[in-house]
Amino acid sequence: MSSPALREAEPSAGTARETAPGPGRRRRIAMVPTVTLLLGALYCLLPVAWVVIASTKSGAELFSTFTFWPGTGFADNVSDLNAYRDGVYWRWMGNSALYAVLGALLSTCVSAFSGYALAVYRFRGRETLFNVLLAGVLMPPVILAIPQYLLLAKADLTDSYLSVLLPQILSPYGVYLARIYAAAAVPADVVEAGRMDGAGEWRIFSRVALPMMVPGLVTVFLFQFVAIWNNFLLPYIMLSDDEKFPITLGLHTLLEQGANTPALYTLVITGAFLAVFPLVALFLVVQRFWSLDLLSGAVKS
Amino acid sequence: MKLPARRTSYGVKGAPYTFLIPATLLFLLFFALPIGYAVWLSFRKVRVSGLGLGAGAREEVWAGLENYTGALSDSELLNGALRVLGYGCIVVPVMLGLALLFALMLDSEKVRLAPFTRLAIFLPYAVPGVVAALLWGFLYLPDVSPFYFVLDRLGLPQPDLLDGGPLYLALSNIAVWGGTGFNMIVIYTALRAIPAEVYEAAKLDGATPLQTALRIKIPMVAPSLVLTFFFSIIATLQVFSEPTTLKPLTNSVATTWSPLMKVYQDAFGKGDIHAAAAQATLIALATLVLSFGFLRAANRRNKQEAAR
Amino acid sequence: MPYTKRRRLVSSAVAVTLGATALAACGSSSDDGEAQSGPVSLTYWTWTPGMDKVVDLWNKGPGKKEQITVTVKKQASGDTLVTKILTAHKAGKAPDLVQAEYQALPTLVSNDALADIGGNVGDARSKFADGVWQQTTLGTDAVYAVPQDIGPMMFYYREDLFEEYGLSVPATWDEFAETARKLKKKAPDKDLTTFSANDSGLFAGLAQQAGARWWTTSGDKWKVGINDAATKKVADFWGGLVAEGAVDNQPMYTPAWNKALNTGKQIAWVSAVWAPGTLTTAAPDTKGKWAMAPLPQWDEGGSSTGSWGGSSTAVTTDSGNKAAAAKFAAWLNTDGEALNALAKESGIYPASTSAQLSGAFTTPPEYFSNQPDFYTKAAAIAETTAPSAWGPNVNVAYTTFKDAFGAAAKNKSDFTAALDTMQQDTVADLKKQGFGVAE
């Protein structure tokens, strides 16, 4: 067994350098990734910058000043948002966090179990089960929402936190992702070795495979978190008590004040701006897991 | 002696099924049952008696294939399908191409500011759809858009972004902007899973970074490319939020611009869940054929390559 | 592999069908006896802003006495709320009280979602104009809702700019067209107003003013008259102006439209009594510069107007306390204190005739501080509202309007063709639903 090498190992001296380009060209080539990414970042950040700048504008400034010119009303906007219906916005934020954290955690668990089983074991009906699971994604959520509502109504669960959580726990995307990460990160011989050592299947999964799958599972968690956080249709169908609304729905009611009442534009924009922060924070936390050395878990004692 | 890979042995036969219980249960409850009900609804319709006011005026009756024939002969639905195919031809290559490019850039050795750019490219995913119409209204509408302002000052022609050909670009832009980060992360995580020995071997062979990227990295992340392609096809055929976002801003986007908008309109606007269910089933079947056909082709190619 | 797949499909299909049959068997709950014993708790789905404060008045006052508590749940508005109500009704879980726009009432009644509350609110009839009350009875003996607010239409214009360009306030639509052309000559980059296809209620109101009756009944059948002479007149009029370029063709309620109003690029707006609220948000820089006048008429010396929007309070068939809910609905829309609070907190214009000239409506809205008799004029205009005629598929007509007229406005093409499309699609949908349609 070769010893695992570190990702950032420098090539051994001599052989590589003979074929390397000269110092000037190398520096210019080295800039390519960074510059490309910066251009991409600029493209992606521009509309987000709009949200930031627009949230600093008061109602009067919003439609009259130049789009990217900052305004003066940020503090007012925030206090208006806070005052709206006695701070229901923060309730919405809390609800979103609850749905997303709990939902994504449960979803990651289910995906981990399923992905591991599909990747590591060979059993009858494996591919069929997998294909059927994936096919579940094909039916547009728009049309699933009403039957799901009727189903939960029979169980008297509509307009409850569970009604938004339960349908979002199983994510075929998550299972697929978990499967390919498990297939890549958990070598068969490690599993076999575990069995030879007399470990039960559960121990192998939890002690050996799971740590290896962590970066992939972190991705699954992140995606399901954002998917649940941004989900509009499901809570829209299931909930009628606006104290249980997530932010997406809450902001929507601010926009849809009715045919004859103007939308509360500044509240919506400020609310959207503030809602970006939790996601940014989450992303920053999650990033750490991607630089974990994937093979560190495979070092044999 | 190396044991054969992935052989189930000594009493672990039940294990995979146990691991799969949660997923199966949830699938049955929240996917299979609702899908079944939706398909069942697609074979029914509502019949109204008299003026249709008051109790007992409506009843659900069997409709056979009526909803399906109605859907297939509906020009709105077919036009929508064509539009969406055109839209998909722009979105999928551009979005996945960019995602792959950015993921490769992030993975290269000499990259700087990676954490910042990674976050920045992911950020569009964090902007809630609710805000999108307002946001893109400000960026696309001539009277308020800063781009038109700049073009105006420079004396350059100002195309109407919300009409005809440019409309597809405007819509595609929203999708690409919103989805590239997602796909980039998927591909990037797969790249990080490539063992270091592979790179060592490549370097020993004297491969340049470009060759490493093309010959080694891309083939090794092929499964995740397949994944992103598969889900992009689904997302494209079922496009709903981008045209709905632009609709209030312009006269050029009809309420039924995409097939799924028609489904939504019928289900929620007209309250005709039966016709909507039939249309949705047709859309699902079309997506199934396209995406699984693609998956089958990709798998066959993989097997061929592996056998080489 | 394919064999196992097929077998799975068959068995799962059977299982699913059984499950689905069980689901469908659950119909709406039958209604209850009306004995109210002990405290009653009601839920009210509404989108009117500030409604919870008004409901507070009830809960602490008359509601406390009667032991009826009402909770407000605010979630969606207009058509989207109708869909939620219908979906909830399918599961038998609709709330006790709902807010419904007048044009949605036939759809709701047709789905048996609204209860007849005539027995409990019959005496409220005197508080409303006949034309308004008629919208809640749907031509039957039953009463399905209590009117809450109305939206009589009027003409808003920039007083200062009219003076600047030497324009006079149009009293007829012909004069309106002349004014538009005159403005174009004097200031080619400005528009009198825009024809927008994204709010069907505006066009419906204009057609109403011209005397159109889009849905009528003859015996057991419905008759659709969307392309009747009156509506054709309206469509041709606006189509002509758009084709000429005398008015703009961009949609309302966009950032660009807001800017146009704010910078004076558009100097008038055919709108309804609730316009001050929208103008405050859209065009804050022009506060105090606008004035309100009656809508231009088709005939010299005529006086009629249309209605754009307006909603009512209804009790659902799923409610277990219909009498109590009806009591609250009546109080909300006829009691002086309640209507005052509604005006103050929600900014809506009451349907109740006595309230239109009292309380908050004795002073003009802030945005129109330059027009002290704003509400007196509004009340007089409201009296001239032409009767409306809604049918069971208003939402279909409205959607077709948006698409057909949107395209026509964009291409500056024939509006009559778009109107015919709207008529055909509405008739086709009625037939598809199984209604009998008289030609």
**Among the ranges given (B2-16, C9-23, C294-308, C375-389), the one the predictor scored with the smallest mean pLDDT:** C9-23
Distance CA B78, CA C1 (A): 34
Asked if the Cβ–Cβ distance from C109 to B37 is below 8 Å, we say no
How big is the A-C interface in CB pairs under 8 Å? 109
- A-chain residues near C78 (CB < 8 A): 256, 258-259
pLDDT at residue B304 tops 80: no
pLDDT interval class at B96 (50, 70, 90): very high
Predicted pLDDT at A22: 61
**Among the ranges given (A6-15, B159-168, C270-279), the one the predictor scored with the smallest mean pLDDT:** A6-15
Q: E-strand spans in C163-287?
A: 215-218, 221-224, 268-272
Percent of chain B exceeding pLDDT 70 equals 92
Predicted pLDDT at B12: 66
Distance CA A208, CA C351 (A): 71
Asked if the Cβ–Cβ distance from C23 to A64 is below 8 Å, we say no
In chain B, where are the structural domains located?
Answer: 15-50+57-64, 74-307
Judge whether C416 and C235 are in contact, CB under 8 Å.
yes
Structural domains of chain C sorted by starting position, each given as residue range(s) with its CATH number in brackets? 40-151+308-383 (3.40.190.10), 155-306+387-438 (3.40.190.10)
In chain A, where are the structural domains located?
Answer: 78-298
- B-chain residues near A117 (CB < 8 A): 15-17, 19-20
* CATH class of the domain comprising A78-298: mainly alpha
* DSSP structural state of residue B62: E
Taking alpha carbons only, the member of B76, B44, B82 closest to residue B263 is B76
Q: What is the pLDDT of residues B3-49, one digit of tens each?
A: 444 444 444 677 888 889 999 999 999 999 998 988 988 998 888 87
Predicted pLDDT at A24: 65
pLDDT interval class at C24 (50, 70, 90): very low
Main-chain phi, psi angles of C97, to 5 degrees: -120, 145
Choose the closest CB to B270 out of C24, C197, C396.
C396
The pLDDT profile of chain A, 301 residues, written as one tens digit per residue, is: 333 333 333 333 333 344 455 666 666 667 888 888 999 999 999 888 888 888 888 877 877 777 788 888 888 888 888 888 888 999 999 999 999 999 999 999 999 999 999 988 888 888 888 888 888 877 788 878 888 988 888 888 888 999 999 999 999 888 988 888 888 788 888 888 888 888 888 888 888 888 888 888 888 898 899 889 988 888 988 898 888 999 988 888 887 776 566 778 888 888 888 888 888 888 888 877 765 433 333 322 2
Predicted pLDDT at C33: 44
Predicted pLDDT at C30: 39
Predicted pLDDT at C330: 93
Region B74-307: CATH code: 1.10.3720.10
Q: What is the pLDDT of residues C84-134, one digit of tens each?
A: 898 899 888 899 999 999 999 998 998 889 999 988 887 888 888 888 888
- C-chain residues near A64 (CB < 8 A): 259, 262-263, 284-285
Q: What is the 3-state secondary structure (H, E, C) of C372-401?
A: CCHHHHHHHHHHCECCCCCCCCHHHHHHHH
- C-chain residues near A125 (CB < 8 A): 4
Distance CA B187, CA B205 (A): 25
Q: Round the average pLDDT of chain C to a whole number and report it.
A: 87
The verdict on B125 touching A (C-beta cutoff 8 Å) is: yes
Taking alpha carbons only, the member of B69, B80, B108 closest to residue B216 is B108
Percent of chain C exceeding pLDDT 70 equals 91
Distance CA C7, CA B109 (A): 52
Predicted pLDDT at A153: 86
Judge whether C33 and C84 are in contact, CB under 8 Å.
no
Output the CA angle B84-B89-B94, nearest 5 degrees: 125
Predicted pLDDT at A162: 92
Average pLDDT over residues B98-125: 86
Predicted pLDDT at C15: 43
Predicted pLDDT at A298: 31
* Nearest-Cα residue of chain A relative to residue C272: A260
**Substitution target from C150, C281, C308, C398 for chain A, most A beta carbons within 10 A:** C281
Judge whether A170 and A107 are in contact, CB under 8 Å.
yes
Predicted pLDDT at A26: 64
Higher-confidence residue of A246 and B298: namely: A246
